[in-house]
Structure formats: C-alpha cells, structure tokens
Amino acid sequence: MRLAPNLSEAHVSLGYVLSFKRQHEAAVAEFERAILLNPNFTNWRFPLTLVLAGEPARAIEALAAHMRLDPFYEPYAPGLMGFACYMLERYAEALPHLRECVSRAPNMRLGRLWLAATHVRLGEIAQARAEAAEALRIDPAYTIDGAARLFLPFKRPDDARHFFDSLRKAGIPQK
C-alpha cells in the first residue's frame, strides 16, 4: 500500500486479508476503494467478502458484474453465486450455480461443502451426504470448528449457524 496507494490490486489484497481478520467494514471499504480507483476492476474476492460481511444480496450484484466483465471467470464465481443465494435462503436458485462450480472444479472442497449445505436445506439428505463425503475425500482433516475459526469468518453469528448447522447435518465432523 505504501508503494502504490492508487493500485486497485493492493486494496483488494488488503480487503481480502481484513475479511479473514474479521474486520468486515474495513474489508468492504478497501474493495470499494479499489473500484473507485478503477471502475472496471473486478475480482471474485469482493463478493466473498460481502457474503462474510452479511451482505449476500450485494454479493450477487458484484458477482453478476464480475461474470459479465470477465467471461473467463473462474469456477469460484458461480460457487460464490450459489453460496450467496444459499445465504439468502434461495436454495433452489443456488443449485445450478453450485453444480456449475463443482463440474468445472470437481476437487474444490468449498464448492462441495456449499452444495452439501444446499442439499440439506432442500431436504435432499442423501445428496448432501454424498457431497460431504466428496469434500472429506478432498480434505480429510476438514472440520466445522476449523472452518469457523480460519476459513469462513462470518460477521453475523446467525449466518455461521445457518451454514455450519447444514454441514453438520450433511455429516461434516464438528472437531
């Protein structure tokens, strides 16, 4: 940041780090600064930060713009779109996005977890367990406690409960 304070990528990197340090407002502000510096700049990390900050509807808008501006978007983008829909309790709408994600990146643990949680909410427990088993095949050490601490630092406790309760029902171990 000291070397290039007007570089959008620097603000994106700082925002991403801040979101995992649970400094959600500051993280969102850094992404917004990156966009002010370069209105055409797009990055999938901003929508993830928005979901973690409790703003999934805004994440969907940011993802739609990202996917429009980058036609070669990474598999993470439709996964995040599905996850944002999940957080808004639009589970049926989440499924096609999540299926695209795992079909394009079958070994992406997080895509499998998002899909497992969505199947739980749709009452499709067998499919949820199958996706959870795939996630654990990819990362046998994955636990809900580890994810809650390190990988998915939700701002709102209700958001964390909404997601992690579904993972528990899908068969992901707590510890």
Q: Write out pLDDT tens, residues 79-103.
A: 999 999 999 999 999 999 999 999 9
For residue 127, the model assigns a pLDDT of 98
For residue 149, the model assigns a pLDDT of 79
For residue 18, the model assigns a pLDDT of 96
Q: Rounded mean pLDDT of the chain?
A: 95
Give rounded-to-5 percent helix, strand, coil for the chain.
70, 0, 30
Distance (Å, whole) CA 47 – CA 137: 27
- Beta-carbon neighbour count of residue 2 at 10 Å? 5
The answer to whether 104 and 79 are in contact (CB under 8 A) is no
The CATH class given to the 49-170 domain equals: mainly alpha
Q: Hey, what are 70's tokens?
A: 């980058």
The owner of tokens 């407002």 is 25
Mean pLDDT of 104-120: 98
For residue 41, the model assigns a pLDDT of 87
* Domain regions of the chain by residue span: 1-41, 49-170
Kindly give, in sequence order, each residue whose CB lies less than 8 Å from that of residue 94, ignoring residues fewer than 6 positions away: 81, 82, 83, 85, 86, 114, 118
State the pLDDT confidence band at 148, using cuts at 50, 70 and 90. confident
Q: Hey, what are 120's tokens?
A: 């739980």
For residue 152, the model assigns a pLDDT of 81
pLDDT in tens, 27-51: 999 999 999 999 988 889 999 999 9
Mean pLDDT of 148-167: 91
- Beta-carbon neighbour count of residue 30 at 10 Å? 24
Mean pLDDT of 56-78: 95
Mean pLDDT of 90-117: 98
Q: What is the CA radius of gyration of the chain?
A: 16
Secondary structure of residue 24 in the 3-state scheme:
helix
Distance (Å, whole) CA 99 – CA 48: 18
